[in-house]
Structure 1
Amino acid sequence: MIFRTCALTWKQNSPEPAGTREPRRQRLPKQPQPSHYAHTRGRSVNEEQLVKWFEMNAKRTCWTLTGATVACVLALYLPRVPRAVAGGDSGELITAACELGVAHPPGYPLFTMLASLALLLVPTTSPAHAINVLCAVLGAMASGALCYTVCSQHQCMFCNMWRYFSEMAGPGPGAVLAGGSFALSKLVWQWSLVAEVFSLNNLFVGIIFSLSVCFHNAETVDQKKKFALWGALCCGLSLCNQHTLVVYVLFIIPWALLQLYTYDAKSEGKVNLMKMLQAHCNHGVDDLSVPVLVLAVLALLHALCNRKMCPYVRELCILTHRRWRVFVCLIAVMVSAYSVFFAWRANLDIENTLLLGVVERFWLQADAGVCVLAGLGLNWTVCFLERWLGLRSLWNVGAWLITAGLLSHTIHINQREFDQSKNDAVERFARELIFSFPESSLVLTRGDLPGNTLRYLHYCQGLRPDLSLVDQEMMTYSWYVLKLQQHLPGVKFPGQVWDPVITEQKNSFNIEQFIQHNIHRPLFVCIGLSEGDPSWEKTFSLWPWGVCEQLMPLTSRLHPVEWAQRTQNLYNWSEPHNSFPPGSWERVANEEMWQARMKMAFFLFDLAERMEGGGQTHLYELSYNLYCQIVNAQMDYPANWDKNLALAAERLLHLGGGHHGLESLLSNSIHHFNRDCGNPWNRRDRGCRQGATATLECGPPEQIRVESPTSRRWGVKRESKRWEIKRVHCWSQEHDGIRVNKLVNRGMDRKT
């Protein structure tokens, strides 16, 4: 046992009085008499019994703190779990659990099986709520695993020198700080309340850390092999959930093999890398807080310092410093390697709030290691102060106060923002969409928000069984038609795979052929059609239908007034504009609903630009009237509405004004141009779809020009370029404000 080894080492190194020749082993020191062990007073304490008692007491303390941490975090999470489906991949993962299907690569089989089991065992009001509860439980267990990691490492450090055990602080403050600061941090709290794979990944990170401590502290080869086997199982299961954990596994495997191999011998004798790293560091300061980072740095410094730099803890350092240092350095190296590797390989524009939110989710794995280091740093600091200055109770109470203060402050900051119990914006968005389609419609989806949420309502809750939902991106996989055709009755596929590049290949088809085979049904597209296959443009056009568009043959005749009346009140949406935080899926859904109100007006404006004669004036006037209706009905609305209304007034003014006075058109045009250009907040188009921004250089009409950076909407990435004048078929493919500004360029070219 390590405790007997520690005792013998202390005996052999004890000072010998001058002038004596007796062997040191004959003059053993007195057995310690801990003052707070009443049953040991007045009599000799058996070493083996005392060591076992210390071990049992330490293990009991570890499990008690771990259970208390899990219970407290769970009590905080469960009341705030949303009862509706969230944005992102939640809808897809829940649908896969309902159907026992396969989610997007890597498939997440372990999460799918656990979620399917939760649907059977958790009595809730909806499938989304049941799986959200499962993720909250997994997130709470992850915090408990980190707490246990710090407890176990503290037990190893200070039980080794059992002679001083009664004088040492317990592991409580650091362990609770590690688990609590991780569970209550902004990102962890946010992604532990929704049906995502990150809470399960966090749990595996905590379990692997805990098993690494147990493996490192094991005293025999058999014990090490046992923990190594459990660790191998957890590493394999974790890689069935999320592949980012492979960075940690690549460090743990050689470290564990080295430990096993050398044990007997020892017993015998494109994105900018710096910008991404800076964003990660800023996240650590803002989310995990400065005190947590300071404690983590203290733990690392203590692990790296020389023994001579620790004169007040020299006796402990003799036997425990090296072992403690190895584990701390292992975690620090894994966290550093993971952060640098992910910053190097990440290719998303973090200046975009939604894409930054996508990147942030992968920082959780590094946060777990930082929180463990912070807990170890707090424990070491308290024990260092005890050995140096005494006053054990003072430092122990101070550590508890620091832990309680940090966690209470974090709860106070985050609890209101992350109370998602009444948040159903994304599900209401999907319900408005799914009930707006005519009977027996075929809907081609694209992107996470409409596609995943519509499938959740359709397959898990059984809404609109008459609809057929087809994912455009998935049709490009060779297995999609083969595996899912039987689950899409009434949908005709002209081949086995959608290949817009090699259309001559056997069993391949393009989108125009697919539309022709299903034209007997009402066809709708959400988020437009793929830019890589423009074959449909020769025979079809897209007419606005709220957030989505309806595919119509070019031979179909449009009646603008009737179509505007038909699509004017598709949705019953009452959320205020800008009512959700930037980067959230709720904000994206809300923005889509707001932009859908002006979609018909913009469609008529764009149609008028491609016409000549009297019909052009009529379309401009209809567009202007629709813009006036939606602008006058709202107090706060997207900024691009002002630009579009001003442009419609300017076009109508040049054509004589129609039924409107020239003076009113001129004043309206100037007013809304100035309103958009005069407000600094409006310079960055608040009406942009997520990820798409437009910068408007204000000035006289002949000097207005627009440049647009890379545009990304719902996972669809586009080239960065200065906008050129060309026919636009699909309104939803690019941001509406940008497309209106393309018309500005067109008008300026005409004037010059």
Structure 2
Amino acid sequence: MAAAREDGVNKAARYAVGRWVGAASCVGVFGAMLAVYLATMRAGMSGGDAMEFARCACSKSVPHPPGYPLWTWMLRSLLRSRLLSWMRPVHQFNVLAAVVSALACALLHQVVAKALPSNTPRGVRYSAAWLSAVGFGLSPTVWLYANQPEVFALNNAFCALLLYLTLWVSECPTSSRLAVAAFASGLALSNHHAAVLYIAPVAVLILTAHAALYKGSVLVRSAVAFAAGFVPFYVWLGFVSGERNIHSWGDLTTPGGLLRHILRLDYGGSFQLAANELASPSEGLLSRLLFYCRETVFREMTPLVAPLAIVGTVLTRSNVTTRILVICFAFYILFFHTFANLPVQSPLTAGVVARFWMQPNMILFVLAGIGFARAVPRKLAPAAIVAVAALGAARWSALDFHNDTVLDDFGRALLERLPRHTMVLLHGDLFFNLASYLHTCEWVRPDVRLISMGLMTWRWFLRGNASKNYPGVSFPGERFHAVAGGFTIEQFLDANLKRMPIVMCGPIPQWQNQDYSGAARFHMFPFGACSRIFYADDLPNNMVEAFQRSVEQFPVLQPMDRRRHRPGSWELEAYETVHQSRLALFDQMGPELGKGDPDLVNLASRLADSILGESFFDVNATDMWHAAILYGVQSVDRRPVEAKMYNTVVRLLQRWPDFTDQSASAIAVDKYNPWRRQPIQYLE
């Protein structure tokens, strides 16, 4: 009796110690990942939808479909709490994203620890959990979205929680546990619609595996719990929509409008990622899956994770948990890549698609942790900690944005030098989200009026408080569409151009049913990264001053870092936008240069310096030729400028198919001797 009692006490003590060790390991993951995220976190703006959520939190407005009410509510609650009031709003939101992302890693640690058999040695169990959780947290896309107020940080946390609850319900399938899981599922779905790709297969598999749960009373109780998590935040979003605040998307004040928003019918369906941009017909399901596999194995993970995941799957294939994980993973990637409509051939849109890979990749990391625990010798288990530390060190420089101000500088340059009371027409996330955040949250240039050309096409846009949100702006119809009751760009400009300066940032949207036939009456004069609109017969009298103002409007951006500013990043998009705008301005200077104004020649020469100095972008031969001529015109008695002319001609000649170093050098020296003293006649 005494021996049995002592054995029971020892087991209880070991169990208690094990729980404390597990909790300490989980807290360690949370602390380590939070430290990494805070150390590399942006203090300013990021690209994509992140600034839309920030703006909606500041202005209490509705984001794009399906509205993401839980995340929007959390951002707004943080702002109103004033807990971090000494920070800029976007900095506060970035901190929240970092905390939530670290929580996702901690939850994933618990998933792996719970998925392993009870007889797994403690050191192996928590080494495998660290490998999975921290390895996932240091994935490039996960790390990137931990540093910005995007909805995917909270989506990752909910997906990890749903995985944990799946194991928890399978461990002891009771109606109470199922109701808790259903409530969490409702919350997850009120945050992001993609959570349904976790919820649907898991719910079916659990109910199939545990027939005792398949009862009417249990299902009703679970449905009520699900609704309790899902409905309240969408009801709140409906009230927000009723306030008709600026830049709010949709009309959610009716059941039909709310349902339309939830189902993303404005985009064509819940998993259509864009309303007007369809993938190339050549991008079938197979090509998308191959692209996903390549990017996941060699970029998002390391080449070692995929084999470990396969090992974990094979060695535990008879386990119910493994089957649920594998089926959930397969359902997610097949369903998502079947319906997502953004092309993966474009780096920018491929980056948008990659955000949805984090959730299935989470399952791969869980399976890899299981494979590590089952296949790697016990003595090598601590190597997991070393491996993830080395992974973090290797990726640190590419994901360290704490001093990166590219998007802040770009966004501020859009607004700060505008003429007073300018109307700014914006199209595209880069322009609209950055400018509207600064305008709404930080009160940068409150005198200007920002109008999204995309939002202006919807019928609900002008049904709200247009006079309050856009004072002084005349809308000559119900919406920006050439349909009955609509208006064209020509009619809109005619109604407003004589009242106030108008600047357009981003291209005019080329949607169907639009009439641009009257646009020829207007001239789009380059104005930094945007264009100022004039009547074609009413251009500025002093073109040199106009060109000078345009050059001054360009943002001064940090030097490009190829490690951070990769293809598909919003920072690279900002650099490319500025580069293309400089080329457009340089092209418009051409006819005026023939007049021989020395101030304009010098201004154009400095602009050419900027264009040719951006060596990471391709400059066509025509622009090089014009730059070389400019340097020649400017080079009278100025040998450094003649040397620039010479070097530009050499670069130009390198475009020739039969180019050799010797031939280019000979032609350049013969025709453009850098030390000659006669001016070159400008060639139009």
Partner of 1:564: 547
Task: For 1:230 and 1:201, locate their aligned partners in 2 and report how far apart those are by CA, in whole Å.
Answer: 18
Partner of 2:490: 512
Give the one of 317, 333, 349 matched to 1:339. 333
Partner of 1:583: 568
Contact 2:586 2:608 in 1 (8 A): no
Render the CA deviation track for 1:128-147: whole Å, top value 9, x for unaligned. 11000000011000011111
Contact 1:82 1:129 in 2 (8 A): yes
CA deviation after TM superposition for structure 1 residue 124, in Å: 4.2
Partner of 1:637: 614
Partner of 1:686: none
Partner of 1:602: 587
Partner of 1:73: 33
Partner of 1:115: 75
CA deviation after TM superposition for structure 1 residue 631, in Å: 3.0
CA deviation after TM superposition for structure 1 residue 272, in Å: 3.1
Query: 1:87 and 2:47 equivalent?
Result: yes
Amino acid at match of 1:351: Q
Task: For 2:517 and 2:87, locate their aligned partners in 1 and report how far apart those are by CA, in whole Å.
Answer: 45
Amino acid at match of 1:229: A
CA deviation after TM superposition for structure 1 residue 263, in Å: 6.5
- Pair 1:379–1:553, CA change in 2 (3 A): same
What secondary structure is seen at the aligned counterpart in 1 of 2:191?
coil
Partner of 2:450: 469
Larger Rg: 1
Contact 2:207 2:214 in 1 (8 A): no
Q: 1:228-627 alignment to 2 at 5 Å?
A: 228-262=178-212, 270=281, 271-286=283-298, 287-304=300-317, 322=318, 325-381=319-375, 395-401=377-383, 403-485=384-466, 486-500=468-482, 502=483, 505-506=484-485, 508-519=486-497, 520-532=499-511, 533=514, 534-559=516-541, 560-571=543-554, 573-576=556-559, 580-605=565-590, 608=591, 617-618=594-595, 627=604
CA deviation after TM superposition for structure 1 residue 73, in Å: 1.0
Amino acid at match of 1:328: T
CA deviation after TM superposition for structure 1 residue 210, in Å: 0.3
Give the one of 112, 117, 126 matched to 2:88. 126
- Indicate the structure whose relative CO is greater, using CA pairs within 8 Å and at least 6 residues apart: 2
Render the CA deviation track for 1:194-214: whole Å, top value 9, x for unaligned. 111111110011000000000
Amino acid at match of 2:388: L
CA deviation after TM superposition for structure 1 residue 329, in Å: 1.3
Contact 2:428 2:506 in 1 (8 A): yes
Amino acid at match of 1:417: A
Partner of 2:99: 137
Contact 2:406 2:557 in 1 (8 A): no
- Pair 1:633–1:228, CA change in 2 (3 A): closer
Deviation larger for 354-363 or 444-453: 354-363
Partner of 1:692: none
Task: For 1:490 and 1:248, locate their aligned partners in 2 and report how far apart those are by CA, in whole Å.
Answer: 48
Q: What percentage of aligned pairs have identical amino acids?
A: 25
Give the one of 125, 130, 146 matched to 2:108. 146
- Pair 1:675–1:48, CA change in 2 (3 A): same
Task: For 1:326 and 1:340, locate their aligned partners in 2 and report how far apart those are by CA, in whole Å.
Answer: 21
Partner of 1:386: none
Amino acid at match of 1:111: W
Contact 1:624 1:648 in 2 (8 A): no
Render the CA deviation track for 1:36-69: whole Å, top value 9, x for unaligned. xxxx9x7124887677666555544433322221
Task: For 2:337 and 2:522, locate their aligned partners in 1 and report how far apart those are by CA, in whole Å.
Answer: 43
Task: For 1:290 and 1:263, locate their aligned partners in 2 and report how far apart those are by CA, in whole Å.
Answer: 40
Amino acid at match of 2:128: G
Partner of 1:176: 130
Task: For 1:633 and 1:337, locate their aligned partners in 2 and report how far apart those are by CA, in whole Å.
Answer: 50
Render the CA deviation track for 1:709-744: whole Å, top value 9, x for unaligned. xxxxxxxxxxxxxxxxxxxxxxxxxxxxxxxxxxxx
Render the CA deviation track for 1:10-46: whole Å, top value 9, x for unaligned. xxxxxxxxxxxxxxxxxxxxxxxxxxxxxx9x71248
Contact 1:624 1:649 in 2 (8 A): no
Amino acid at match of 2:138: L
Contact 2:33 2:134 in 1 (8 A): yes
Task: For 2:599 and 2:326, locate their aligned partners in 1 and report how far apart those are by CA, in whole Å.
Answer: 64
Deviation larger for 256-265 or 522-531: 256-265
Task: For 2:137 and 2:644, locate their aligned partners in 1 and report how far apart those are by CA, in whole Å.
Answer: 57
Deviation larger for 438-447 or 572-581: 572-581
Q: How many residues align?
A: 579
Contact 1:354 1:584 in 2 (8 A): yes
Task: For 1:176 and 1:478, locate their aligned partners in 2 and report how far apart those are by CA, in whole Å.
Answer: 51
Gaps of 5+ in 1: 1-39, 159-164, 305-321, 383-394, 609-614, 681-746, 748-752
Contact 1:69 1:179 in 2 (8 A): yes
Task: For 1:141 and 1:550, locate their aligned partners in 2 and report how far apart those are by CA, in whole Å.
Answer: 46
Partner of 1:203: 157
Deviation larger for 281-290 or 100-109: 281-290
What secondary structure is seen at the aligned counterpart in 2 of 1:415?
helix
**Aligned-CA RMSD value:** 3.5
Contact 2:45 2:90 in 1 (8 A): yes
What secondary structure is seen at the aligned counterpart in 2 of 1:551?
strand
CA deviation after TM superposition for structure 1 residue 570, in Å: 2.3
Contact 2:201 2:331 in 1 (8 A): no
Deviation larger for 478-487 or 255-264: 255-264
TM-score (ref. length: structure 2)? 0.77
Contact 1:526 1:547 in 2 (8 A): yes
Contact 1:628 1:645 in 2 (8 A): no
Contact 2:413 2:554 in 1 (8 A): yes
Task: For 1:665 and 1:210, locate their aligned partners in 2 and report how far apart those are by CA, in whole Å.
Answer: 64
- Pair 1:665–1:233, CA change in 2 (3 A): closer
Partner of 1:726: none
Task: For 2:438 and 2:418, locate their aligned partners in 1 and report how far apart those are by CA, in whole Å.
Answer: 14
What secondary structure is seen at the aligned counterpart in 1 of 2:508?
coil
Give the one of 169, 178, 183 matched to 1:215. 169
Task: For 2:120 and 2:284, locate their aligned partners in 1 and report how far apart those are by CA, in whole Å.
Answer: 52
Deviation larger for 112-121 or 92-101: 112-121
Contact 1:577 1:636 in 2 (8 A): no
- Pair 1:677–1:636, CA change in 2 (3 A): farther
Task: For 2:115 and 2:532, locate their aligned partners in 1 and report how far apart those are by CA, in whole Å.
Answer: 62
Task: For 2:614 and 2:17, locate their aligned partners in 1 and report how far apart those are by CA, in whole Å.
Answer: 63
Task: For 1:476 and 1:167, locate their aligned partners in 2 and report how far apart those are by CA, in whole Å.
Answer: 61
CA deviation after TM superposition for structure 1 residue 623, in Å: 8.8
Gaps of 5+ in 2: 216-280, 637-641, 660-683
- Pair 1:600–1:70, CA change in 2 (3 A): same
Contact 1:528 1:549 in 2 (8 A): no
- Pair 1:334–1:124, CA change in 2 (3 A): farther
Deviation larger for 130-139 or 227-236: 227-236
What secondary structure is seen at the aligned counterpart in 2 of 1:144?
helix
